[in-house]
């Protein structure tokens, strides 16, 4: 209830969202249509596809419906991806809703077009740069395939997911793209700082691919990415904190970033849940 109330507070009546609030609960930015709008739609879709009270689900539909027209105007690939994830969640309970299906097709087709415009012989990606939360783009096409059955979505999702996994592997360990420079096509991949959001997204996307295609490639990718949280990384440091149940904020050139932010902890918990649900007890 508090989270739905917060989204309603941050959303303008026209559907756009604010992204920043200070400690006195004062909104300190102008409304926009970037990543935060897409994530809000994703969250609202998850609430709609839940057993929470009817009133809360009605509020989530209001949030979703007001924001969706703005999402169509966004040029951000990640916003499009988050919206795909939200539409997929809502379609689980409103599977015949033609407007939802049309919007999902619009967003997914846009991601495929980005892939077609940016791909090269050694670059199977949607943009000319790899930055953060990259696997969400692959995940968006995987769920679009699940909802709509379009084979192109599955094909592009698999080739880009495999490219991402290969790019973020050094030897036998997962090495996420660092945020100090990212990885521009034709350039050098930044190794640090590595953030939990990246392996977390990779795990969540790969669990869907693994469900669709029981390939050992995906199983290995899942185990490798989860291992990053438990010390199988470039600094051999453990990101998951047994004493608190939280996750440290990342790996920098000196070792562990000892902050334990909500985004990092959520990234780990969601990834761990997706991982556990992908295997039988004997496989874990």
Q: What is the pLDDT of residue 284?
A: 65
Q: Tell me how far the alpha carbon of residue 139 is from its chain's centroid.
A: 7
Residue boundaries of the structural domains of the chain: 1-145, 168-284
The pTM of this model reads 0.94
Per-residue burial over 35-70, b if 16 or more Cβ lie within 10 Å, else e, is bbbbbbbbbbbbbbbeeeeeebbebbbbbbebbbeb
Low-confidence ranges of the chain (pLDDT < 70): 282, 284
Q: What is the pLDDT of residue 33?
A: 83
DSSP, collapsed to helix, strand or coil, labels residue 134 as coil
The DSSP element (H or E) to which 66 belongs, if any, is helix 54-71
Q: Do the beta carbons of residue 38 and residue 81 sit within 8 Å?
A: yes
Q: How far is CA 90 from CA 45, 64, 120, 157, 244, in A?
A: 5, 10, 34, 21, 34
Using CA atoms, how far apart are residues 267 and 81, in angstroms rounded to an integer?
Answer: 17
Q: What is the pLDDT of residue 220?
A: 95
Phi, psi at residue 25, to the nearest 5°? 65, 35
Q: What is the pLDDT of residue 11?
A: 87
Q: What is the pLDDT of residue 15?
A: 84
């Amino acid at each position: 209830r508090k989270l739905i109330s917060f989204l309603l507070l941050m959303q303008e009546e026209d559907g756009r969202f604010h992204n920043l609030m200070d400690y006195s609960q004062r909104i300190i930015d102008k409304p926009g249509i970037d990543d935060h709008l897409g994530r809000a739609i994703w969250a609202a879709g998850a609430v709609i596809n839940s057993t929470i009270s009817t009133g809360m689900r009605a509020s989530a539909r209001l949030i979703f419906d007001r924001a969706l027209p703005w999402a169509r105007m966004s040029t951000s690939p990640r916003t499009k991806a988050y919206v795909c994830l939200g539409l997929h969640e809502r379609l689980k309970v409103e599977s015949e809703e033609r407007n939802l299906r049309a919007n999902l097709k619009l967003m997914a087709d846009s991601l495929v077009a980005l892939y077609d415009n940016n791909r090269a012989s050694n670059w199977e990606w949607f943009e000319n740069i790899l930055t953060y939360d990259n696997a969400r783009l692959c995940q968006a096409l995987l769920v679009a395939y699940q909802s709509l059955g379009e084979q192109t979505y599955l094909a592009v999702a698999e080739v880009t997911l495999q490219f991402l996994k290969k790019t973020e592997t050094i030897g036998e360990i997962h090495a996420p793209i660092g945020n100090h420079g990212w990885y521009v096509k034709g350039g050098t991949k930044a190794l640090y700082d590595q953030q939990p959001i990246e392996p977390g997204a990779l795990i969540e996307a790969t669990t869907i691919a693994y469900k669709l295609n029981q390939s050992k490639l995906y199983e290995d990718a899942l185990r490798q990415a989860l291992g990053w949280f438990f010390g199988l990384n470039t600094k051999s440091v453990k990101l998951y904190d047994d004493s608190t149940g939280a996750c440290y904020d990342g790996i920098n050139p000196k070792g562990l970033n000892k902050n334990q932010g909500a985004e990092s902890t959520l990234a780990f918990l969601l990834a761990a849940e997706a991982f556990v649900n992908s295997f039988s007890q004997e496989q874990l």
